[in-house]
């Protein structure tokens, strides 16, 4: 079993290689000159999908024996199996139910502590539950929702860091909690009471083994930010005079977290039946999913590694700032990072006063978010306004990398498939994408979901880019979650929150900002220019609908891709000088379609099906479509360097001849 697990692991410094052919046509391997090597943190890949039997809603799901085994799994082996199924696994796991149990029960007086804590939790939550039941009995449950939501937030704060973190998670889970409560719990993400400075400074000295005066010439007397697991100070290094941010963990938090996780899972074992019936998933695995992520955030050495991964991924991007981490001054409870002297994204006037081009900054932000999601597969899981800053030179800066998530290569390709299916209005395949991503249990009948998906997408996208926004789509999707057996995997709840939060920031800075007007050009550029054969395959799917070539769609893709290049190349963040010398990077000012043209020529040469479809497209309706071809050429003529393309064709000619002969010989042999 362990050999199988390790053979499916994603290496820390690479993601699984993509196929090197389309429709059986070999494509040349290329070095990705434009992008840095993608790094994926092993420890970030901790989200757990639950494939569970479901009996609470109108659909019927025929779940195979493997799925049933997962719903009843009570050990870490179930988590390992889930890792294999989603294409990501972890060679070392900080969390397992057995580890938590052993950690809690090994301490002296553990049983008495558990009983007292259990009584406290049951008493306080029981009183709150009783008040909800009373509201229902007297018929005022709808009237007092805002009050009860605030009461729940205050109760979670009172119960401690584990419950604050649980509230933050629930704020992004429409499959578990209703929307009005979610909105109130969002306050927990950036408004938690701090602990005393004296305690924080003592932890820093204990962790680093030196007095504060020996390391820092000054340190802020007040916290810069406070969260559920720690708080942040600003300081100046004695050695270099550089300003840094010091993140300090709350005192004695680890035993509290372990104790609460043990109680959570014990309670969950009694709720499995109700959970499967009402929520469509196993309660124990929900706790495992939460506990795994929580223990990772508790170890700041893992956050330091996440920062290194982001630095590596964005090292060639002139529009994104990731803080450096001082590993020699960091430990499991203290993290020292470069101070980010930026402007909070919730202050549009300050951004304008600093002379920052708002449109350029928003374009940079959306592009950075989409690169994390669709290119790297490693994305910031908590991009609320306190974690994103506008630099005075137009760059976007991210901080707080404790909560990051990973999408496997397979998941990224399925997401792109979903975009392609949405463009082609293929709602049946969109529903199947939900199953492939883990939103639906394997074997679920998706036919009743198809009309609901069609209604959501057409109502949202049919209004055009001017009225489309993720919040309205998410609101409709939340209702879909309650009507059908859909569960949102943890990492995709982070994706949804990330998109919603960043769209909210965009609206704060520019109320009439159109998110898709930036997102679509980015996706179009990737489809047209990325040499990844998987994306080449998706491009073909976009350009052919029901066997008919879509000339207008090709023109739109080219226009959108050129728009993305123009916006990025004219961005002020690329023009600013950094000190006495300008930044040493090259700005791409034209849409480079060289590789696309070469790969397209290969497909036409080798693939009989593609060749036939193109001939039909050129002669559709018994007429030559020369005009459409001329229109496409006019769009790209300024972006094609004919001599350069010709030179590359000549250099690649021997490989083309070899591949042609191999293809011809294979076809001859296969016909015998």
Contact in structure between 489 and 433 (CB atoms under 8 Å):
no
Q: CA-CA distance, 479 to 469, in Å (whole number)?
A: 17
Residue 382 bears catalytic tag: yes
| Strand pairing category for 548-549 and 577-578 | unpaired
Q: Which residues pair with 216 in a beta bridge?
A: 237
Helix (H) or strand (E) holding 609: helix 608-618
Which residue is associated with the tokens 């990731």?
A: 322
Q: Which residues pair with 334 in a beta bridge?
A: 248
Which ranges in 332-426 belong to alpha helices (H)? 348-353, 358-370, 409-423
Q: Which residues pair with 378 in a beta bridge?
A: 406
- Range list of β-strands (E), 448-597: 544-545, 548-549, 577-578, 581-582
- Give the angle subtended at the CA of 669 by the CAs of 664 and 672, to the nearest 5°: 130
> Which listed residue (53, 299, 309, 382) is catalytic?
382
What are the tokens at 414? 């399925």
Contact in structure between 417 and 429 (CB atoms under 8 Å):
yes
Helix (H, G, I), strand (E, B) or coil at 29: coil
Contact in structure between 175 and 434 (CB atoms under 8 Å):
no
Contact in structure between 167 and 489 (CB atoms under 8 Å):
no
CA atoms 429, 434, 436, 442: torsion sign: negative
Closest CA to 297 of 381, 232, 226: 381
Q: 358: burial class by Cβ within 10 Å (0-12, 13-18, 19+)?
A: middle
| Strand pairing category for 230-237 and 243-249 | antiparallel
**Residue 217 DSSP label:** E
Where in the sequence numbering do the catalytic residues fall? 382
């Amino acid at each position: 079993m362990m050999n199988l697990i390790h053979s499916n692991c994603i290496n820390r410094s690479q993601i699984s290689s993509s196929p090197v052919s389309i429709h059986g046509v070999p494509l040349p391997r290329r070095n990705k000159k434009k992008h840095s090597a993608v790094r994926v943190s092993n420890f970030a890949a901790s989200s757990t999908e639950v494939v569970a039997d479901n009996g609470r809603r109108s659909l019927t799901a025929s779940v195979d024996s493997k799925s049933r085994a997962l719903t009843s799994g009570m050990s870490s082996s179930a988590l390992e199996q889930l890792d294999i199924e989603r294409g990501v696994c972890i060679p070392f796991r900080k969390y397992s139910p057995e580890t938590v149990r052993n950690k809690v029960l090994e301490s002296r007086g553990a049983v008495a502590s558990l009983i007292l804590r259990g009584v406290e939790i049951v008493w306080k939550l029981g009183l709150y539950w009783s008040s909800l039941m009373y509201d229902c009995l007297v018929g005022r449950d709808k009237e007092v929702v805002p009050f009860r939501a605030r009461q729940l937030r205050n109760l979670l704060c009172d119960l401690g860091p584990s419950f604050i973190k649980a509230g933050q998670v629930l704020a992004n889970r429409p499959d578990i909690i209703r929307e009005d409560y979610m909105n109130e719990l969002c306050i927990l993400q950036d408004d938690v009471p701090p602990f005393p400075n004296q305690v924080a400074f003592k932890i820093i000295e204990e962790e680093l083994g030196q007095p504060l005066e020996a390391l820092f010439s000054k340190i802020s007397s007040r916290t810069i930010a406070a969260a559920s697991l720690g708080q942040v100070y600003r300081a100046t290094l004695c050695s270099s005079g550089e300003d840094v941010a010091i993140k300090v963990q709350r005192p004695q938090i680890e035993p509290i977290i372990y104790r609460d996780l043990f109680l959570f899972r014990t309670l969950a074992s009694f709720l499995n039946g109700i959970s499967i019936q009402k929520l469509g998933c196993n309660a124990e695995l929900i706790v495992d999913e939460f506990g795994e992520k929580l223990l990772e955030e508790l170890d700041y050495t893992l956050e330091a590694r996440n920062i290194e991964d982001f630095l590596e991924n964005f090292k060639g991007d002139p529009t994104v700032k990731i803080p450096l981490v001082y590993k020699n001054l960091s430990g499991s409870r203290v993290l020292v990072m470069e101070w980010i002297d930026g402007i909070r994204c919730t202050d549009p006037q300050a951004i304008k006063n600093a002379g920052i081009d708002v449109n350029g900054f928003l374009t940079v932000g959306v592009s950075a978010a989409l690169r994390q999601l669709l290119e790297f597969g490693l994305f910031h899981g908590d991009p609320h306004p306190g974690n994103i800053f506008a630099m005075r030179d137009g760059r976007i800066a991210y901080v707080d990398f404790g909560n990051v998530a990973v999408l496997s290569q397979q998941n990224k390709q399925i997401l792109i498939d979903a975009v392609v299916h949405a463009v082609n209005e293929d709602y049946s395949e969109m529903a199947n994408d939900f199953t492939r991503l883990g939103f639906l249990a394997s074997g679920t009948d998706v036919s009743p979901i198809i009309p609901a998906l069609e209604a959501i997408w057409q109502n949202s996208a049919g209004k055009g880019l001017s009225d489309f926004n993720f919040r309205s789509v998410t609101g409709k999707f939340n209702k879909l979650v309650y009507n059908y057996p859909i569960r949102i995997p943890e990492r995709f709840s982070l994706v949804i929150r990330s998109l919603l939060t960043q769209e909210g920031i965009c609206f704060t800075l520019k109320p009439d900002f159109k998110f898709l007007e930036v997102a679509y050009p980015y996706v179009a550029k990737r489809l047209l220019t990325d040499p990844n054969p998987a994306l080449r395959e998706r491009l073909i799917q976009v350009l052919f609908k029901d066997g008919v070539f879509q000339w207008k769609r090709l023109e739109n893709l080219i226009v959108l891709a050129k728009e993305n290049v123009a916006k990025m190349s004219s961005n002020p963040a690329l023009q600013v000088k950094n000190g006495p010398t300008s930044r040493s990077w090259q700005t791409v000012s034209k849409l480079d379609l060289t590789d696309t043209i070469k790969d397209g020529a290969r497909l036409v040469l080798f693939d009989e099906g593609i060749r036939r479809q193109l001939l039909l497209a050129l002669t559709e309706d018994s007429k030559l479509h020369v005009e459409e071809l001329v229109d496409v050429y006019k769009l790209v003529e300024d972006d094609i360097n004919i001599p350069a393309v010709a030179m590359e064709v000549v250099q690649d000619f021997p490989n083309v001849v070899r591949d042609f002969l191999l293809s011809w010989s294979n076809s001859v042999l296969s016909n015998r």
